Amino acid sequence: MSNLLMRILTAVIFAVVALFLTWEGGAAFALFAWCVGGFVLFEWRGITKSRWQKVDDILASVFYVVFGVLLVLDYSAPLIFVTIAVGAIILALRSLGNAGWVAGGYLYATLPVASLTYLRGEEPFGFGAIIFLFAIVWGTDIAAYFNGRSLGGPKLAPKFSPNKTWSGAIGGALAGTAGGCLVAFLAADTTPANLFIPVLAFALSVVSQIGDISESWVKRKFNVKDSGHFLPGHGGFMDRVDGLVFAAILLYLVGAIFADMTVPSNMFNLI
């Protein structure tokens, strides 16, 4: 089986599982997001292992389990984010010179998990908010990949991500924005005249690509090709969700500002 076919098959299976659990919502979705975040934390630690000590491993694992229990039990967003912050501060103080890699990795795993869980939250907009986000991130990733392969052109970040091109980035942004707008117009019943949606979708698409490039930079810095080997054709979970990490956090922040920290998807009720 070719690498491209394996990549597509893995992506389809992952997408089906993610969509089913997004539809289910509640504790099932929170647990799924937490498990994916756990793989991300494990892979981050594997990439940056030269900056971690044994006590860092233990503390990060304990903090992540506590965070997961509170999240699945549906505690309020303020408590969850305080818990995340306390864990990150303790890790940063303990690791000192390596705080960026230890505490940063903990935040890289926990913040998007919390963001996704609260975005899914309650109906009527929880499911639509996640599908809106998935449409943008997945649309961006797929279009950027195939656009870049077919059109080529100037490199976007040749020093640490030589396969990415400007044609892929632009095509991905356009496709991601279009996908997000389509979902919003269908799921949230917004009108095409509402400029907030395309602007938000475009911003999320750009941020998702920044997340992708950032992960490539981390891997290049530590001379690692793939974050892991759990997902055939993709490498690890970090390689699969790198674009989702920053985009999920941004969408949550927008929802928390315009609506509510615990039910950020209600922002779609205001537009």
Per-residue pLDDT tens over the stretch 68-101: 999 999 999 999 999 999 999 999 998 778 878 9
φ and ψ of 164, to 5 deg: -85, 135
Query: Residue 186's pLDDT is what?
Result: 83
With contact defined as beta carbons under 8 Å apart, do 226 and 237 qualify? no
pLDDT of 38: 97
Domain count, the chain: 1
pTM as predicted:
0.93
Q: Does residue 159 sit in helix, strand or coil?
A: coil
When pLDDT is cut at 50, 70 and 90, the band that residue 238 belongs to is very high
Give the type of residue at 98. Answer: N
Q: Is the predicted pLDDT of residue 105 greater than 90, yes or no?
A: yes
Number of Cβ atoms within 10 Å of the Cβ of 197: 23
- Tell me, what's the pLDDT at 192? 58
> How far is 92 from 103, CA to CA, in rounded Å?
5
**Tens of pLDDT, residues 39-78:** 999 999 999 999 999 999 999 999 999 999 999 999 999 9
**Owning domain of residue 213:** 3-269
